[in-house]
Amino acid sequence: MTKHIKDVIASRRALLGGFAGLPLLSLAQSAAGTEPVPPEFQSVDPTNADTISLPPGYRWRTLIAWGDALFEGMSSFDPDALNRADQERRFGQNNDMLALFPADYSFPFASNTQRYLLCANHEYVEPSLLFPALAALQDFTPAHVEAALAAIGCTVVEVEQNGGEWRIVKNPESGNGRNRRITPFSPVIFSGAAANHRWIRAGATAFNAAEPAGPDADPNEVRCGTLANCAGGRTPWGTYLTSEENFNTSGTMLTDASAPALAAAQTDTAWILASGNFGTPLYSTMREDQLPPRFDVSANPYGPAVYGWVVEIDPYDPTWVPRKRTSLGRKKGECANTALTKNGRVAVYMGDDQIDEFIYKFISTGHFDPNNRTGNRDLLDEGQLYVARFNEDGAGDWLPLNLERINSAVAEAPYHARFEDTGDVAIRAREAARLLGATPMDRPEDVEPLIDADWLGRGTILLSCTYNRNEEFYRPGNPRRGDAQANHIQQSNVGGHILRIDEHNNDCGATRFRWDVFTLAGDPRADNTFTLPNGIAADVSVTIDGRPTFEGDRFSCPDNLCVDNSDNLWIATDGSDSVFPDCNDSVMIAPIGASGPRPVKRFLVAPVGAEVCGPTLAFDETAFFCAIQHPGEANSAGVSNAELRWRNHQRPPSNFPDGGDSWPRSAVVVVTREDGGRVGS
């Protein structure tokens, strides 16, 4: 049987990796005390169509796609002619997170703006979706690889609405425009607790040698840029936070296991533990002469330490070098969403997207100043990093990653290495969290705090856990279906789930919380016997103790989330078609405050082989934006494009977004109502 592409992606994106009774299900009404009105659009039927499928009365348009020019006067896109210099001036591949900022900053953000700055992540490149003329993976030259690396990172681009139509605004190549790319070749500055960590200093040397600095460069710059950018978030001072996720698959290789530099690094027990935790180093699928040497762990064993961080980018100021905020901890970061605490500090919520990893929160020492935008840019360098522990009784604690407490735990587990300082805690946050007894989660992804118009956290946080296909015992916060709740038997969580966290006293600065289950993703009409496309039996029911968590349209594998002004939760899926193969990945909508079982409706279905990412809305909610990532990475039967192309010499199974016989391109699409009204209502 051909391995389903989603299982391949799961292994790439999630390496390593008895319930006495659940607390009361999250079925409370909204904070206003009134039952919310469910969205009235007609649900989209399941489909494997190679297009965007929407309810009647809606339409979609491509806003920007891989290879589209960011500047005036550039030629049309030719994927076979792509080189690094050209790709650094064009929209990247496999766009993920999206964030909108008003073109003119104000606090709070103006709700009536028609012109925005759009920030987009580009998570990775899929070689089989690059360079159509190449016949084999071995045909990639170093120039091809550099062009591919330049397609990763972030894009900042101006967009505007004019007469109901959305378009990008190309800038002149010289001047004061704000369009730009941040790639693995761009300069960044490390700041915060681990800024001067020995691993980062050692790893940065090779990157700076490969990318010589200009005469006016900041001496603190490291020319390693950013890669593996998955989700992120915005700050109230108008900066973009982008999280580096699976850097081990796009930022490392190993060509010589006996190399002297690698042998020397292996005398460092802490380095061995961290490398094993993140799945580095990896053996490369390409030849040694194809990949830049600075990514080779054989010669640069500390190179991976420059990745795995939250990066802060100022979309308003292209001259400000992006900062890697190391105080937020090193992880395979999925998101970095902010809310203000009741005393005006900044809380940053983060997921670590790998099976059996953790949920984190950072609280700044300093306070947000709404009258000093640029003065807030260093707030994320000082503060306390916490990790979540979920308790059986529905309570939970934010455990501070405290150096003394961590080293006390190390003393009880001698196979661990002692932590030298707070920088060591930041760079080894995963290990520290595990030592403190944080709760391993079923692949934690987006962590979305509800905020008011002034960015004040309302105390409610929604957390998506995409899935756990390992046979594991129940852990608090990670429910198992059916009899597994009572018997504590092993069972996988193939559908994933969404949790609701309520911070103590509704304060995002609290160190205690309550938790319950918002939805168990699956099929409301299914019993506990279901056969997955790979032939394995699984439970995809949505009930806890006999009570359904939702009704309506089935879905699985929740990933990115966003919340609209009516407290509807928009849920983008990643891998749902590996559970329910009759429907591509989708966007679902559920009212947060509905009394249960809450209704869930399918709003959008993506094209073949694509994942839906980065759902967000225009500030007046007359437009919905999402990223269509890797269309054509697999066909509707789950066979990967890599197999179709390199082994069977076939074209990709998608022609999205341009149709006809065009090569597929990741893209940002904008969805509007034909009558110009509010989307989703």
3 state SS of 318: coil
Q: Which residues pair with 161 in a beta bridge?
A: 166
Taken in order 131, 82, 307, 443, the sign of the CA dihedral is negative
How confident is the model at residue 637, as a pLDDT? 94
How confident is the model at residue 39, as a pLDDT? 84
How confident is the model at residue 25, as a pLDDT? 44
Separation of alpha carbons 233 and 235, rounded Å = 7
- Give mean pLDDT, residues 579-602: 93
What separation in angstroms does the CA of 152 have from each of 57, 186, 600? 35, 11, 34
- Out of 20-29, 269-278, 487-496, the most confident range is 269-278
How confident is the model at residue 451, as a pLDDT? 98
Taken in order 65, 70, 72, 75, the sign of the CA dihedral is negative
How confident is the model at residue 207, as a pLDDT? 97
Separation of alpha carbons 642 and 160, rounded Å = 37
**Tokens 């970095």 label which residue?**
336
> Residue 115: which H helix or E strand, with range?
strand 115-122
> In which band, very low, low, confident or very high, does the pLDDT at 32 lie, cut at 50, 70 and 90?
very low
pLDDT value at 122 more than 80: yes
> Residue 161: which H helix or E strand, with range?
strand 153-162
What does DSSP assign to residue 403?
H
Query: Of residues 119 and 257, which shows the higher confidence score?
Result: 119
**Tokens 């580096």 label which residue?**
244
> In which band, very low, low, confident or very high, does the pLDDT at 252 lie, cut at 50, 70 and 90?
confident
| Mean pLDDT rounded to a whole number for the chain | 91
What tokens appear for 246 in the block? 């699976």
Residue range 313-338, pLDDT digits in tens: 999 999 999 999 999 999 999 999 99
How confident is the model at residue 9, as a pLDDT? 30
CB 300 within 8 A of CB 410: no
Residue range 629-648, pLDDT digits in tens: 999 999 999 999 999 999 99
> In which band, very low, low, confident or very high, does the pLDDT at 352 lie, cut at 50, 70 and 90?
very high
pLDDT value at 439 more than 60: yes
Q: Which residues pair with 120 in a beta bridge?
A: 98, 155
How confident is the model at residue 255, as a pLDDT? 86
pLDDT value at 12 more than 60: no
User: Could you tell me which of 536, 372, 668, 433 has the C-alpha nearest to residue 6?
Assistant: 536
3 state SS of 449: strand
Separation of alpha carbons 65 and 630, rounded Å = 11
Residue range 47-105, pLDDT digits in tens: 999 999 999 999 999 999 999 999 999 999 999 999 999 999 999 999 999 999 999 99
User: Could you tell me which of 527, 522, 518 has the C-alpha nearest to residue 477?
Assistant: 518
What tokens appear for 491 in the block? 């069972």
What separation in angstroms does the CA of 82 have from each of 74, 77, 90, 357, 552? 13, 8, 10, 37, 45
Residue range 169-224, pLDDT digits in tens: 999 988 789 999 999 999 999 999 999 999 999 999 999 999 998 888 899 999 99
> In which band, very low, low, confident or very high, does the pLDDT at 34 lie, cut at 50, 70 and 90?
low
| Amino acid letter, 52 | I
What tokens appear for 3 in the block? 């391995």
How confident is the model at residue 282, as a pLDDT? 74
User: Could you tell me which of 356, 395, 337 has the C-alpha nearest to residue 478?
Assistant: 356
Q: Lowest-pLDDT range, 205-209, 447-451, 479-483?
A: 479-483
Separation of alpha carbons 63 and 100, rounded Å = 13
State the Cα angle at 298 between 254 and 14, rounded to 5°: 40
How confident is the model at residue 164, as a pLDDT? 83
What separation in angstroms does the CA of 376 have from each of 6, 170, 195, 367? 41, 29, 19, 8
How confident is the model at residue 26, as a pLDDT? 45
Q: Lowest-pLDDT range, 246-260, 374-388, 557-571?
A: 246-260
How confident is the model at residue 572, as a pLDDT? 98
**Tokens 């429907």 label which residue?**
583
Q: Which residues pair with 448 in a beta bridge?
A: 462
Separation of alpha carbons 557 and 560, rounded Å = 10
- Expressed in angstroms, the distance from the first to the final Cα of the chain is 43
> In which band, very low, low, confident or very high, does the pLDDT at 233 lie, cut at 50, 70 and 90?
very high
How confident is the model at residue 487, as a pLDDT? 53
For β-strands 165-169 and 624-629, DSSP reports them as unpaired
* Strands (DSSP E) found in 630-673: 667-673
For β-strands 497-503 and 383-390, DSSP reports them as unpaired
- Give mean pLDDT, residues 140-165: 95
Residue 207: φ, ψ to 5°: -65, -45
0.85 surpassed by pTM:
yes
